[in-house]
Structures are given as structure tokens and as C-alpha cells.
Structure 1
Amino acid sequence: MASHVHSPVNSAALNSGTEIPLLGLGTYKLQGHDPLYRSLSSALDAGYRTFDTAAVYGNEGHLGQVVRELLPKHGLSRSDVFLISKLAPTDQGPRAREGCLKSLEQLGCKYIDLYLVHWPGTAGLEPRDPLNAEHRAQSWTVLEEFYACGQFKAIGVSNFSAVHLQELLRGCTVPPAVLQMECHPRLVQRELRDVCKQAGIHFQAYSSLGKGALLDEPVVKEVAEVCGRTPAQVLLRWAVQQGISVLPRSSQPQRVQENARVFDFELSGKEMDRLDSLNNETRFCKRNSADIF
């Protein structure tokens, strides 16, 4: 299974020279050792090699511990998995170095495969406060330093709007390798994806299932029926077929394994168009980062 996972079809090349698997496991709200152990164990069995966490999830420590316990049991080493974490909004700017070091320490790793600025704003600042932009720039400089010394193999951003992204591209030394953003057929993010494509930034989706709401979407269910697939598989396939990596989260081992079966079928052009036509800018994650200056 491992060789299948790293075949070029199932991963994307990053501008950092590394590869990112298209399928990963999100760990938001997976708290404590045992739930993480169950999810990660079934994920590794099913061929997942990416695990996504963040300082604000409060589970970096347990995730690092679980990864160390599970790798030898699956005949894998640290270099076989791709770990993603993110700088907390409370650590944006002046505390960025502290935040980065804390993530490395919590995960118990010499390096993190991809480290993201989680949010364009700083905790405690008003959205229009000009300090937000200053802190973003400060954070990025720190991420560039960790990248230069190899502690972060790739660096990127999460929840950045096209404006935030263009501002960063104008001022950075190292361009972001990844933008992680909510994306699904109700929020196709065409403009952002175009900006990323032009800049050579990989686009990664979170909330691919619309927090579960899209599983009951009639069009999604009809396409799933035609394909003989689950609605979740159809939604994830819609993304990976466009080269977008996904991070579905589940605490149920059976669901984790089901979600992995997205590389052995293809949606027709007509089916892709039907799903695209659902786009109406619906956000299931209510906080909109576009309001932040």
C-alpha cells in the first residue's frame, strides 16, 4: 500500500522541492491519546500518510506520541509520513518564534513537513488593526528562518484571502508552498485557486464535506449513486481530481478507511460540472478571514 500512496498520481509537487500526498487525515477535535491512536492506526492501514494538526487544536503532543508509537508497528519511519501543523493566532508576530519552537517540541520531531500561519489576524486585535499586517509579515520572516535551517521542510498559510496572499508574495523571500482553505462544491474558490496556480502555490482544502452538511446534498447523492460510491468519496474525489489535497477527519475507523478510496475511480466531466454548479459561496466555517486587514 505504501508505494501506491506515494505514486506521483496521489501526491503533488511543492515549490519547496518536496511532495505532499493528496489524501491526509485532519485531526481537529480529535482529543486525547486513544481517539487519535484509533484514527491514525486505521488511517495508516488505509494508506494515509499525511496528518494535519495545529497549535490551537491542543493535540500536537498526543499526535506526536501516537505517530512515534504507530510507525514501527506499520513498518514505517518518520520520513514516510507528512506532518502539518500551524502557528496559533495568539503567537502571531512577536511570539512567532516561541510558537514554532513549541510546535516542534510538542510533536517531538526534529522537523515538521509543512508549517502554516493559521490565520491572517492576531488574537486580541480588531480585524481592521494595521498591526495584523505587521504581525503577519513578522511571522512569515520567522517561518522562513525555520525553513532555511531545515526544521520546516515547507512553509505556507491557512485562511489567507487573495489580498493577504498577494501582499505576502510581494514581501517574502520564500514564497508559500501551500494555501490551506475551506473548499468544496458549494465554495469552489476559483479566484484563490487561480492566484495559487499563477504563483506556484499548492491549494489544499479543509471542510471538504461541509462539516457533514454536503453528504445530504441531492446532487452529491445522485452522483454517488451513479458511481456506486459514498457521498463523502464523491466530494473528496471532486477535489483530488483537480489536484487539490484533502484532509477529511473522522473518529470512526470504518469511515477513515472509506474516505481513502478516492483514487480508484474518476468522475466524468459532466459529473464534475454538476458538482461545480452547486457553488454559491457557502461557508461552513463561519469566521471569514477576508474581513482582516
Structure 2
Amino acid sequence: MDCKAMKFQLPSGRLMPLIGFGTFQIHGRSLIREVLDYALAAGYRQIDTAAVYGNEEDIGHALKELLPKYNLRRGDIFITSKLSPSDQGDQALQALQQSVENLNSGYLDLYLIHWPGAQGIPGNHPDNVKLRSASWEALMKGVELGLVRDIGVSNYTVRHLNELLSKNYSVRPAVNQVEWHPHCHGADLKNFCKSQGILLQAYSSLGGSNNPRLIKDPAVVQIATKIKKSPAQVLLRWALQQNIGIIPKARSKEHIEANIDLNFVISDGDMNTLSNMTKKEKYAWDPERIT
């Protein structure tokens, strides 16, 4: 199957592309327009952003101009944004409305609680539990109001997911977006999400911003050389081949095109090598410390 056609069915019944275009740390109206132009031309149909990225308005402005260029309508693309930790709790619905307004998109396809903790509260404070529950209840109202089609979470551990699911809410989490790459992954989280019908979506697939340790790992480089692909393509295909969503970000046309050019297969032996590296390292924040 063409990797661009790979999709996951969400609780709403809508289909989410497994490959998305990440926009973390991409700022400025002209740059946003340029990279989204490259991305849409290359075949990306999912765009991932967040309130804390500070680029929602520029994305909305660019899409208004670019969708007609590619004969696309709003329904042809999938837009994800995320709730800022500063808006956890009763402010969550207002924050969702603001993201929809910023993106000028009419609605969001997916909205995630970005972090299980709340800004300004210690990680071990019990109010984190109350606030993220209040956030979920507010976002369910957002689904009822048509502001968002599906809702989910980001940086949730199995413990956080169990807590959410134990409340038997009428709207179930669609996605859990987490740091996920050969130096940082766990079978327990992967298996739990699969058992609950939650899409596991990877960020920092290449090891994080300005951090070359993963992409230059000798095992990754060796496999890439053998199959005549770039280390980045190998790392992205490793996740995709496990039916894990990916949202690579890039600024250059060359890298944007390469990151969706994943119509190849990594052998079982090489998949095993990548999945069983002795090096274990997180390159982003650690949610385990959040109560």
C-alpha cells in the first residue's frame, strides 16, 4: 500500500492519515506558507500543531491560500492542535474555540491534551488529576458543539490512560501522541494503546531537535546504507511499519519530500535490530513524574 494512503479509523468514524506534517518550532508567516506548500505538493494531508507552538494563525492563513491551489477543500485535510498546559481545566473549551478561530478552519479534526500536568503546579500535586479530568469533560462538550471531531491526549503513560478510561466517559481517547523512537519506546504502552483502539502517534521520531545521537547511531546508519535510504527514512519507516503514526517536521523541500517517501519495507531482522537497541534515552520531557 502507498504509505500516503495509510489511515487509522478514529472513534468518530473518520479516517486519520498515519503520516502527518509536524510544525513544532516552525514560525513566521512566509516560512509556514512555504513549508505547507511543499508539504501539500508532496502529498501530506495531516497537519499537526499546538497552541504552545505559536503558529496556528499563520497555518490558518497559509491554508486559506494553499488549499485552492491544490484543488483541496477543508474536508480533504486533517488538522490537529493541542491544549496548552496553562489552559488545563475549565479553560479547556475556550482554548479549543480559540484554536479553531486561530486556524480559521471551522472545526478541528483532532484536539489533544498536550501534557498530563498543568502549568504552575508541581508534577506530584493531586490537582493535576482533577484538572486533566476537567479538561476532558470540557473537550467532550467541544465534540458535542462540533468544534472538534475527535479528542485525545499527548504524553500520557499507561497509568494516565488507565485513569482516563476508568471514568467510562462517553467519548474515548482517539490518539496518544508520545516521544517514540528506537532509543525510547515501550511494549507496554504500545500494547495497551492497541488493546484500547487508541492510535499511538510518535513525535521526535528522529531523536529530537538538534540532537544527532539517534540519527547518527551506527546501527541506524548501517541499515540505511544497506537498503539505500536515509537514516531519517529508516527511523520513520520503523514506526510506520508498526502502524504507529508519525509527524516529521522539516523546512527544506528535499527533507519534506523524503519524509513521506516511505514506500519500502525494512526486513524483520533489521526491524528487530532497531527495536532492541541497548541505548535507551529520552530526548524530550518525561511524563512519568506527573501524578
Q: Given the two structures, how large is their TM-score scaled by the length of structure 2?
A: 0.95
| 1:174 corresponding residue in structure 2 | 171
Offset of 1:279 from its aligned partner? 5.5
Offset of 1:24 from its aligned partner? 0.8
Q: Does 1:202 align with 2:206?
A: no
Amino acid at match of 1:257: E
Offset of 1:13 from its aligned partner? 1.6
Q: Distance in 2 between matches of 1:182 and 1:167?
A: 20
Q: Does 1:11 align with 2:10?
A: no
List runs of 5+ in structure 2 lacking aligned partners. none
Q: Give SS of 1:38's match.
A: helix
Q: Distance in 1 between matches of 2:150 and 2:13?
A: 9
| 1:268 corresponding residue in structure 2 | 267
Q: How does 1:123-138 map to 2 (within 5 A)?
A: 123-138=119-134
| 1:91 corresponding residue in structure 2 | 87
Offset of 1:260 from its aligned partner? 1.0
| 1:162 corresponding residue in structure 2 | 158
Q: Give SS of 1:29's match.
A: coil
| 2:239 corresponding residue in structure 1 | 239
Offset of 1:234 from its aligned partner? 0.4
Q: How does 1:1-293 map to 2 (within 5 A)?
A: 7=5, 10-171=6-167, 172-211=169-208, 212-213=211-212, 214-262=214-262, 264-278=263-277, 280-285=279-284, 287-293=285-291
Decide which moves more: 187-196 or 113-122. Answer: 187-196
Q: Distance in 2 between matches of 1:274 and 1:31?
A: 36
Offset of 1:189 from its aligned partner? 2.4
Offset of 1:230 from its aligned partner? 0.5
Contact 2:4 2:43 in 1 (8 A): no
4+ residue runs of structure 1 moved beyond 6 angstroms?
none
Number of aligned residue pairs: give it: 287
Q: Distance in 1 between matches of 2:215 and 2:31?
A: 23
Q: Give SS of 2:26's match.
A: coil
Q: Give SS of 2:161's match.
A: helix
Q: Give SS of 1:205's match.
A: strand
Q: Give SS of 2:177's match.
A: strand
Q: Give SS of 2:79's match.
A: strand
Q: Deviations over 1:103-151 (max 9, x none)?
A: 1111112110100000001100011111110000000001111112322
Q: Deviations over 1:69-98 (max 9, x none)?
A: 110011111111110000000000021122
Q: Distance in 2 between matches of 1:41 and 1:232?
A: 21
Q: Distance in 2 between matches of 1:102 and 1:46?
A: 29
Contact 2:4 2:19 in 1 (8 A): no
Q: Given the two structures, how large is their TM-score scaled by the length of structure 1?
A: 0.95
Q: Give SS of 1:179's match.
A: strand
| C-alpha spacing 1:281/1:14, structure 2 compared with 1 (3 Å) | farther
List runs of 5+ in structure 1 lacking aligned partners. none
Q: Distance in 1 between matches of 2:66 and 2:279?
A: 41
Amino acid at match of 2:187: R
Q: Deviations over 1:176-217 (max 9, x none)?
A: 000000000111221111111111101100000002522211
Offset of 1:6 from its aligned partner? 6.0
Offset of 1:41 from its aligned partner? 0.7
| Larger fraction in helix | 1
Q: Give SS of 2:215's match.
A: helix
Q: Distance in 1 between matches of 2:100 and 2:57?
A: 9
| C-alpha spacing 1:243/1:279, structure 2 compared with 1 (3 Å) | farther
Contact 1:43 1:257 in 2 (8 A): yes
